[in-house]
A and B are shown apart, each in its own frame.
Chain A
Amino acid sequence: MNDYVASLIQTTCITMIGVISIFPLTGMTGLFSFGQAAYMAVGAYVSGIAAVKFGLPFWLCLVLGVCVSGVMAVIIGLPTLKLRKDYFALMSLCLGEAVTAVLNKFGAITGGAAGLSNIPKRATMLMIVLSTIAVIAMVGLFKSSRFGRMSLAIKTDELAAKSFGINVFAHKMKVYIFTSMIAGFAGVLYAFYLTYLDPNLFGWTRSSEWVIFLFFGGVNSLTGSVISTIFLTTLPEVLRFASSARIVMYTVMILLVINFMPSGLLGEKEFSIPKIIKFFKNHFHKKSRIGGEG
């Protein structure tokens, strides 16, 4: 496999982890966040610094990156999740910029605007692809569990959800921490794949990109997120668009989808193995009936 295709697959996968990380938060619980890339930044930098400045082994860096993301989610989540939805969205927007600013400022540790280089390349293609599949599975299990149900209930009607015993704030915190840790994980993979980090890679444009991909695929569909990420990341590559043209292209596509198919490409449909089996059963059952009827 040539290098170009390999790098395309890997960047698509890492982006996909990011998009899927906001599925439980934004898609299912209805908490719009334009700052989740900040957690990717935290995961990336913490693990990167652990490797470069302290020489720690990869697995330890990974654990550190993900855990620190989680801790930060607790600190940020506690005050911000209490706010009403549009204020939460606003704070999330500011969060991305705040984290970028901090990364720029404390250059002695982070390398500042010059970036952090020489991170060992430990993220292989296999690792990235397997991680992506694992994340998809975990979020899928989230959706089919009581947590997924509570998220959807809260999104539809918070008051009613409370009337059935759901501690809405506690649930939002759990989802926020969970999704932020996944974003942190994406950051770790990114750091050890790219081997170089820059504070400006993780601002609100990246976060918005994730939200937009989510909407394109269908806010309620995990499968939609997967497909839309693949589509929207590879299509501009195939067309060989430079960065701005690519952004123009997919913002136009999102606008088309929002205008004419607001529930996204897939709406609420999900890929599931039982459904596929049912489909084949029906098909073969019909065939055998036609043959068998006397």
Chain B
Amino acid sequence: MALLKVENIAKTFGGVCAVNGFSMEIDRGEVVGIIGPNGAGKTTIFNLISKVYKTDCGKLWLDGTDISAYSQEQAARSGIGRTFQNIRLFTGLSVLDNVKVSCDYKPRYTLLEAILSLPRTIKGKKKTECEAVECLKAVGLERFADERPGNLPYGMQRRLEIARALALKPKVLMLDEPAAGLNPEECVELVSFLKEVIKRFDLALIIIEHRMDVVMNLCDRIYVQDFGKNIGVGTPLEIQNNPKVLAAYLGEGDD
């Protein structure tokens, strides 16, 4: 079975159907892109997979396990990591601490051991520090370990979000508009950076993106959403020539 298998998930809010039956499969080392006009329900799909919302129907499997009933934190622990469309860093924590948070759910030491500073605590803290620094190095932010996230420029905050998600040691990494606010050169860097991350951390990558240069160069497969429905799946080349996709993006009429 694929690493992540999503079968017919859906979400309706009141009268609005945000996601109308979405299915997808992805394996380790693969990159899948979800594209579509604004309001197509892309972030809602992320929220369904990462269990921020409960799906109205359908099922999800991660590495063979049925995670349909998992809570948000259970999904994160089993290996679904994500970033957010609007940056949601922990502003009260330093850059390094933000990354360390991803390691904190692991019971490396108990509360009692922490307040008595027993040996297990010291070992656990060292381990967390190592892992966090490694992730910061992977995104090139280790110099700013003690800074406040709010002081970093926008692009670096986005990188910090990725570092934080990587520290979770996810099997599936979901990035919501990682290229937002980047110029064309930075987009090229982002593509090669992400390709390296996939190889180095051995994960599957799902991205929501509007920047076509990133999507076409990075993704193995693309799902196109419009008004909650899927209107096309395929390789970048196939999608570029799909008439329904073109119609949704460019509108009908003479060209």
For the complex formed, measure the closest distance between the CB of A89 and the CB atoms of chain B, giving whole angstroms: 20
Asked whether any CB of chain B lies closer than 8 Å to the CB of A243, the reply is no
Which B residues are CB-close (under 8 A) to A149?
93, 97, 100-101, 104
Cβ contacts under 8 Å, B97 to chain A: 149, 152
Asked if B66 is at the interface of the complex by the 8 Å CB criterion, the answer is no
Does A122 touch B at the CB level, under 8 Å?
no
Contact between B114 and A145, CB atoms less than 8 A apart: yes
In the assembled complex, A167 has its CB within 8 A of some CB on chain B = yes
Flag whether B54 is at the interface (Cβ < 8 A).
Answer: no
Q: Which of B90, B106, B117 contacts A160 (CB 8 A)?
A: B90
In this assembly, does A58 line the interface, its C-beta being within 8 Å of a C-beta of chain B? no
Contact yes or no, A152 B73, CB < 8 A:
no
Partner of B164 from the list A141, A142, A159, A164 (CB cut-off 8 Å) is A164
Please, what's the 1-or-0 string for A152-186, where 1 marks a CB less than 8 Å from any CB in chain B?
11011101111111111000001000100000000
Min CB gap A180→B, angstroms: 13
Residues of chain B lying within 8 A (CB to CB) of residue A196: none
A147 contacts B72, C-beta separation under 8 Å: no
Give every chain A residue within 8 A of B82 (Cβ-Cβ): 163
User: Interface size of B by Cβ–Cβ distance < 8 Å?
Assistant: 37
Nearest CB in chain A to that of B72: its residue: A162
- Assess the B109–A168 pair: CB atoms within 8 A: no
Query: Does A146 interact with chain B (Cβ within 8 Å)?
Result: yes
Residues of B within 8 A of A138 (CB): 115-116
B121 touches A145 (CB 8 A): yes
**Distance to closest chain A CB from B6 (angstroms):** 18
Expressed in whole angstroms, the Cα–Cα distance for A152 and B164 within the complex equals 15
**A141-B116, A157-B90, A178-B111 given. 20 additional CB < 8 A pairs?**
A138-B116, A141-B117, A145-B109, A146-B103, A146-B125, A147-B114, A153-B90, A156-B92, A157-B88, A159-B72, A159-B88, A160-B84, A160-B89, A160-B90, A162-B71, A162-B73, A163-B50, A163-B52, A165-B104, A166-B104
